[in-house]
Amino acid sequence: MHGAKYRMSMEFIEKAAEAEPVALITEATNLTGAHYSSEREVEAKLTQIISQCSGLVLADFARADVDRFRSFYNAAKKNGRILAISLKQAYLLKELEEDKRLKIPHLKDENVAIFCKRKSRYYDWERKIQEEYKGKVVDAETVGRNGDRYVLALSFYDFEELIDIRPPPGSCYILSASEPFNEEMEIDFERLKNWLEHYGLPQYHVHVSGHIMPLQLKKTIEKINPKVVFPVHTEHPELFKKFLEDLPAKIVIPEKERKYILR
């Protein structure tokens, strides 16, 4: 973990410890088979994939993930491409530009463009972004016609844009988020695969887990020092309890529909 995620995590731990909490609810996903990787590895893989792609690169990653945005930006720039982001991402980036600690590219950067979907009506904030950065706005036709120049951030829910983009042969899709973990997401993922097959787009999955590693988790709980810890989002609650036995906090495995009174 590094960059914005690391700083925000450290700030949370400090503030949580200062509050002297009675209880802490924590996820404990990576207790078995934890695979350590970093954002630098993600950026290196993205750079390699983009370098091998002769067409358009489609990318799906969380809009609010500043570190992942920076990784895609760096990978695109290293390959002489422009990262085209959505209006929502552009709005968020504009709001975050003032925070120098994040070290993110400015919207006026030559390697950043703003992809604008064709709509009959735009919100006021969407119109303001388009007006302020008029020369940075690109549409489906522009991206499709110059596919080898762009890395286009496009979520699954924007895939209807592919009808107008018509990605050229040699294009690819990079999923840089967690794989589906419930029934609804599985259904959406099947639809995604149908879209990709229809347009001849191979899929790459390049991601680093946002879940904390076991030893980091233990140190974090030790620093926050709550009286009680409730593990959630884990398949191994008993393992979690034994792993933290030497800490002063009481580990309580929550039971469904049971009420817990904190003192």
pLDDT tens-digit map of 218-260: 889 999 999 999 988 777 788 888 888 889 999 999 888 899 9
pLDDT tens-digit map of 48-73: 999 999 999 999 998 888 889 999 99
Q: What domains does the chain contain, in order, with CATH numbers?
A: 3-34+210-251 (no CATH), 39-205 (3.40.50.10710)
Residue 36 has pLDDT above 70, yes or no: no
pLDDT tens-digit map of 86-120: 999 999 999 888 887 778 889 999 999 999 998 88
CA separation for the pair 58, 175 (Å, rounded): 8
* Confidence bin at 1 (pLDDT 50/70/90): very low
- Give the phi and the psi of residue 149 in degrees, each rounded to 5: -100, -10
Beta carbons of 43 and 75 less than 8 angstroms apart: yes
Which structure tokens are listed for 232? Answer: 């959630």
Amino acid at 73: Y
CA separation for the pair 252, 246 (Å, rounded): 14
